[in-house]
Structures are given as structure tokens and as C-alpha cells.
């Protein structure tokens, strides 16, 4: 039977047996996926009780479009399926697989993806974050995660990349940018587990360093906070993170010694910091001069 015969058979089934049989015949036919899907839209079969057959047509056609690089068109086709979980899965996969597009062009909140295809705006910003990460723009990555409300991912990026970068560079512009990102977290970071050993730690450390540089008073409680949390700071320990960790530990130890009269058990707290043997000898000598000995 040729394609014309198949069309006549489908039309006959629609007239005599109903939409379910017509949809089943259509999905099994040798007609092209594009034609099948268009026919479903024209005949309004998608509104009738044959969703499994219709979804299989839309799924095949959407996959075909995506494989051809027409992923936005594929998103539209996927959106016509009835299985909501499958719709969400396929649209998410199509968008995230093309994250590089968003990293290059940004997110257009008035695009057809949002206005017509009803793709969640947060998903587009997540794709933008992933695209930025792939091209090495960790600042853009973190900012997009924040916009998407993906707080854990944004926090991980601060801990692994942005915090160490600012500690090492001491760049005022980057510091201001980091402070802006951190200020966006709900509940002052309380939404993220271990905030005080992550972004909260970097925020406090950088604030104290700024205060010391500007000859403002550094609160003893803030130094104690750094001493108690420094050893638990979340990090993957890359070379950059190791360098930043040593800088932070050295600065905290210096502050602790300067405020030793107001902080209990300074020697033990300094020992817990991530400093090398040379630094430990140096701080031991400083404490010795102050008549305070590091615990063995």
C-alpha cells in the first residue's frame, strides 16, 4: 500500500472507527515524521483519546529535528506531547544540550522559547550557567546560577573558583562582584548547608581584610569565626585553592596573634590552620616572643 492508500485508510478510520484507531494507524504508517505530526495538528487528533500514539509521533519527529540541529523547533514539537514528565525531560535535555548558545547570546526573556513554548526561564539561565562554565567564564556561570535560583551550584562555584580567585588577586572590582553575588542568597546564606564553611567564610574573611586595610576595627568575634571555620572550608584542593587556603590561613593567624589577649587557646587554633611547616615555625617564633607557646 502506497502513502496515498495509507492516507485514505487513516481518513476512513477517522470517519468510521474514531480517533484512537486513526491515531494508531497514523503512528504505524510509513509516512514521514514531519507529515505525521502535521497531520495530527490539522486533524486535531492531539486533543483526543490516543495520546500514546500521538506522543510517539511527536517524540520521533522532535528527536529528528534535534539531531538536525533544529533544537528550538524540537522543543516546540516536544511540547505537544501529552506525557508531562516526558515533555519536561525532553525539553530540558534539548535546552541543556545547547547551553553554548545561551553562553554566547545570553537569555532573552521575551524569546519564543519563553513566551510561546513556555520553557521555564530558570532552565534557560541554568543552560547559560553551564555554557559559561564550559567556556571558562566562572563569574558568568555563578551569576546565571543565582538568577536560576540554583543556590547549591552557585555556592559550589564560589567555593571552588570565585572565592580563591579574589583571595589571590586582591582585586577590588572582583571583590565587589563577589559581594554582589553573595548578597543574592536568601536567608543570608542559610538556605545552603555549611554556608559558614563556604561562601560565608569567604565573605567574612574578605570583609575583615578590607577593614584591616582601611584601618577599621576588626571584631574579635569575627576572627574567632574564621579560626573555627577555616579548617572546614569547602574546597576541591586544586592548585589555586591550595594557594588561596595558605594565604587565608596566614592572614588569620596574623590576626589571631595580634588579638591573642582576647582569644582563648590561640596556639591550638593556629595549629589547626592549613599552613606549611615553615609557616608553623614562623608563628611559633612569634608566639614565643609573645610568651605564648604552640601546643605540641
* DSSP annotation string for 139-182: HHHHHHHHHHT-HHHHHHHIIIIIHHHHHHH--HHHHHHHHHHH
User: Which residue carries 510517539 as its cell?
Assistant: 56
Handedness of CA 48, 51, 56, 60 (dihedral sign): positive
Give the three cell numbers for residue 257: 596573634
pLDDT truncated to tens, each residue of the chain (296 aa)? 566 666 667 667 666 766 666 666 766 776 778 888 887 777 665 555 555 567 888 999 999 999 999 999 999 999 988 889 999 999 999 999 999 999 888 898 888 898 888 899 999 999 999 999 999 999 999 999 999 999 999 999 999 999 999 999 999 999 999 999 999 999 989 999 989 999 999 999 999 999 988 889 889 999 999 998 987 886 667 889 888 988 998 899 889 888 888 888 888 888 778 677 777 777 777 776 666 444 44
User: Which residue carries 492516507 as its cell?
Assistant: 7
User: By the 8 A CB rule, do 141 and 222 touch?
Assistant: no
How far is Cα 15 from Cα 4, in angstroms, rounded to an integer? 17
Closest listed residue to residue 246, CA positions, set 268, 277, 218: 277
* pTM for this entry: 0.83
User: By the 8 A CB rule, do 199 and 182 touch?
Assistant: yes
Detail the DSSP E strand segments found in 61-208. none
Closest listed residue to residue 258, CA positions, set 225, 296, 214, 292: 292
H/E run at residue 271: helix 266-271
- pLDDT score recorded for residue 82: 85
Amino acid at each position: 500500500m502506497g502513502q496515498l492508500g495509507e492516507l485514505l485508510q487513516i481518513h476512513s478510520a477517522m470517519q468510521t472507527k474514531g480517533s484512537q484507531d486513526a491515531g494508531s494507524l497514523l503512528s504505524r504508517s510509513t509516512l514521514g515524521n514531519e507529515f505525521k505530526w502535521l497531520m495530527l495538528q490539522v486533524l486535531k487528533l492531539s486533543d483526543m483519546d490516543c495520546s500514546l500514539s500521538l506522543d510517539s509521533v511527536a517524540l520521533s519527529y522532535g528527536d529528528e529535528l534535534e539531531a538536525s540541529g533544529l533544537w528550538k523547533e524540537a522543543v516546540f514539537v516536544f511540547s505537544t506531547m501529552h506525557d508531562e514528565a516526558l515533555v519536561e525531560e525532553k525539553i530540558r535535555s534539548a535546552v541543556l544540550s545547547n547551553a553554548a548558545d545561551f553562553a554566547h547570546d545570553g537569555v532573552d526573556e521575551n524569546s519564543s522559547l519563553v513566551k510561546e513554548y513556555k520553557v521555564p526561564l530558570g532552565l534557560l539561565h541554568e543552560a547559560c550557567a553551564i555554557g559559561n562554565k564550559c567556556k571558562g567564564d566562572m563569574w558568568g556561570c555563578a551569576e546565571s546560577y543565582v538568577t536560576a535560583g540554583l543556590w547549591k551550584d552557585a555556592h559550589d562555584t564560589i567555593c571552588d573558583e570565585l572565592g580563591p580567585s579574589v583571595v589571590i588577586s586582591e582585586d577590588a572590582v572582583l571583590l565587589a562582584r563577589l559581594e554582589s553575588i553573595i548578597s543574592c542568597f536568601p536567608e543570608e546564606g542559610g538556605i545552603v548547608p555549611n554556608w559558614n564553611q563556604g561562601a560565608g567564610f569567604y565573605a567574612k574573611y574578605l570583609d575583615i581584610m578590607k577593614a584591616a586595610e582601611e584601618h577599621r576595627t576588626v571584631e574579635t568575634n569575627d576572627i574567632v569565626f574564621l579560626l573555627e571555620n577555616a579548617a572546614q572550608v569547602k574546597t576541591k584542593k586544586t592548585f589555586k585553592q591550595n594557594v588561596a587556603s595558605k594565604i587565608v590561613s596566614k592572614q588569620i593567624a596574623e590576626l589571631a596573634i595580634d588579638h591573642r589577649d582576647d582569644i582563648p587557646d590561640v596556639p591550638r587554633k593556629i595549629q589547626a590552620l592549613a599552613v606549611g611547616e615553615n609557616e608553623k615555625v614562623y608563628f611559633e617564633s612569634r608566639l614565643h616572643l609573645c610568651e605564648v607557646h604552640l601546643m605540641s
